[in-house]
Amino acid sequence: MRTALLLIAMSILGYCKDETVSGHGGAGATWVLHSIDGTPFAARATLGFPEEGTLAGEAPCNRYSGAQTLPYPWFRAEALITTKRACPDLEAETRYLRILEEMTLVEVAGDTLLLTNEAGREMVFRAGE
């Protein structure tokens, strides 16, 4: 009984907030890919966190969505699905989505979102560019 009351009180006081990236500054922005591993990304790709536990965006050719349920600062793009349009940037899209799935950490600092992994790879996004 005491534990239940404590959980209710914590919930009312806001202690049970969204622990994913959307609850730590990632929500409410469209993050535009600026670079991969220090090299500017020539095509346009976006990433967003429309609600707790989800991610969505536009790759160079197609829209995509998926899950991101790990607590901040951990990151994993899971169960990605895409539309199926063909376009000249399909190679860039394949590269973007493959690398996005390799990322394991996220950091939100002002208008910058940084995705990294243990191998030293990084993706730098800027808000609304």
Reply yes or no: is the peptide bond before residue 50 cis, omega within 30 of 0: no
Residue type, 125: F
CA atoms of 32 and 9, how far apart (whole Å): 38
Extract the tokens encoding 27. 């929500």
Residue 13 is assigned to a structural domain of this protein: no
Q: Which amino acid, 117?
A: N
| pLDDT confidence of residue 1 | 56
Q: What is the pLDDT of residues 25-79, one digit of tens each?
A: 888 899 999 999 999 999 999 999 999 999 999 999 999 999 998 999 999 999 9
Does any domain span residue 85? yes
pLDDT score, position 38:
98
Domain ranges, residue 110: 21-128
> Which CATH number belongs to the domain containing residue 59 in this structure?
2.40.128.270
What phi, psi does 58 have (nearest 5°)?
Answer: -125, 120
Q: Say if 120 falls within a structural domain.
A: yes
Q: Is residue 3 part of a domain?
A: no
Q: Is residue 14 part of a domain?
A: no
Q: How many domains does the chain have?
A: 1
Q: What is the pLDDT of residues 89-108, one digit of tens each?
A: 999 999 999 999 999 999 99
Residue 75 within any structural domain of the chain: yes
Asked whether residue 56 is assigned to any structural domain, the reply reads yes
The answer to whether 41 and 28 are in contact (CB under 8 A) is no
Residue 8 lies in a domain: no
Is the Cβ–Cβ distance between 103 and 89 less than 8 Å? no
